[in-house]
Structure 1
Amino acid sequence: MAQRTYPGHSLIGKTATTKRKVKNEVIRQLTRERGPDPDAESWLLMFQGKYQPEYWIVLLVKKNATLKAIDEALRDIWLECCSHLSAFTIHGEDYVSFPDVEFGGKSMNARLGNLFSVGLTGEYIYDYGDSTYLTFKVLDLVPFSPKGRTSVEIVARNDPPDIRCSVCGEPATEICLECLYEDSETPFFCDDCFEKHECDEEMSLPVVNSPRMGQCAYTG
């Protein structure tokens, strides 16, 4: 069975790409727009939904930045709703947002230069209650720096999946949480159809381009 293609865009040159081709496209666009810098080294990282691979992003991260900087970027781009705990799992070790002596875990102040290598894979969790799970891979170490004074830059991401209203087939804007929690196959609605839907109108969240869509109070 052929692997599915998940479309997206490089945010550097605003060019269309796919998840499988994004590494080469991002490097091509960085080379064209900024040029290699012999004094710069950054990791090119891909994160994706562990159970929703259609959601993916690529980050350019300074070589010696911290895990905390990546955690903050993931929250800003994809995840933050209620200041939940989070953690990376790398080489079998957990690096948590708020280390606790009783429960273990290392600090996210760990530097990437001491942890990462090209080809490394790991996992990330946001919220230990209504959890969102991500996986990541270190795609490459490249001679570029994130834009401006930041240590992390998002350089590519997936295009929003084509999610349709369960009733009329128009683009969906709302998820009915009651239907979602009941494992209904039809939890998505456009604005007009959701107004006529029989479930509680307050039990909904917007359709957004994130693997956390429909969880906790996340609105994008």
Structure 2
Amino acid sequence: MTKGGLTRHLPSCTARQDAIEEAAQKQEETKQDLYHLQVYAARSTDFWLHLEMRGSAKLQHLDAYLRSIWLECCGHLSRFSRGGWGSAEISESKRAGQVFEPGVELTHIYDFGTSSETNIKVYDVREGYALSPHPIFLMARNNSPETECMECEQSASWLCMECMYEMDAPGTLCDEHADAHPHDDYGGLTPLVNSPRVGMCGYDGPATPPY
């Protein structure tokens, strides 16, 4: 499904409703507000996440999650705000319940040099029992975008940053053409992973959830 299709589907998703009912039967914790976040890369329509975040969790938990699944390369600084650069920063010590309500939109910026900007929209909130013992639960994410090798148009799995930055070429390569590719001035080839930060700074994945 598309990002918007998932937004419409998740409130009535049978699997999600079953998980919510199972968590309610266990009642291992007290009820709390749980926020449905629609998260997407500001500069690409290919990358998006649907997350459920505990109201008691802090924005630093969301920052850590985004770093793990999409962003972390060199320990750069990051910030939350309600409008990107020029807007007041929101402290990461704030709890989700202090900041979020349906309709609220935040901007997360990672790396103040080669910046990755992520939009976070609060789509909905429910009161109930969390689906995970962790601060954030991954409900859905995009499939890895299909990318063609610049040499043969087969499916690509590698990126040459030297081609991209020095030769204005796509730089995408399949396994076969990657084996014989001569460029290594940018540290060699980078794997194509499911992240909007591929090809930026020193990012090379693994683009997996932190838990």
Q: Does 1:94 align with 2:78?
A: no
Q: Does 1:30 align with 2:16?
A: yes
Q: Does 1:113 align with 2:113?
A: no
Within the candidate set 179, 188, 201, 1:195 is matched to 179
User: How far did residue 171 of structure 1 move?
Assistant: 1.2
Give 5+ residue unaligned stretches, structure 1.
1-16, 96-106
User: How far did residue 93 of structure 1 move?
Assistant: 2.0
**% same residue:** 31
How many pairs align? 193
Moved more, 209-218 or 182-191: 182-191
CA contact (8 A) 2:20 2:129 kept: no
User: How far did residue 144 of structure 1 move?
Assistant: 4.4
User: How far did residue 150 of structure 1 move?
Assistant: 0.9
User: How far did residue 127 of structure 1 move?
Assistant: 1.1
Quick one: distance in 2 between partners of 1:176 and 1:198? 10
Q: Map of 1:1-220 to 2, 5 A cutoff? A: 17-27=1-11, 28=13, 29-35=15-21, 37=24, 39-90=31-82, 92-95=87-90, 107-182=91-166, 184-200=168-184, 202-220=187-205
CA contact (8 A) 1:40 1:145 kept: yes
Quick one: distance in 2 between partners of 1:52 and 1:144? 33
CA contact (8 A) 1:170 1:190 kept: yes
CA contact (8 A) 1:43 1:141 kept: yes
Quick one: distance in 2 between partners of 1:183 and 1:119? 43
Which secondary structure does the structure 2 equivalent of 1:30 belong to? Answer: helix
If the length of structure 2 is used for normalisation, what is the TM-score? 0.83
CA contact (8 A) 1:30 1:144 kept: no
Q: Which residue of 1 aligns with 2:209?
A: none
User: How far did residue 176 of structure 1 move?
Assistant: 0.7
Q: Which has the higher helix share?
A: 2
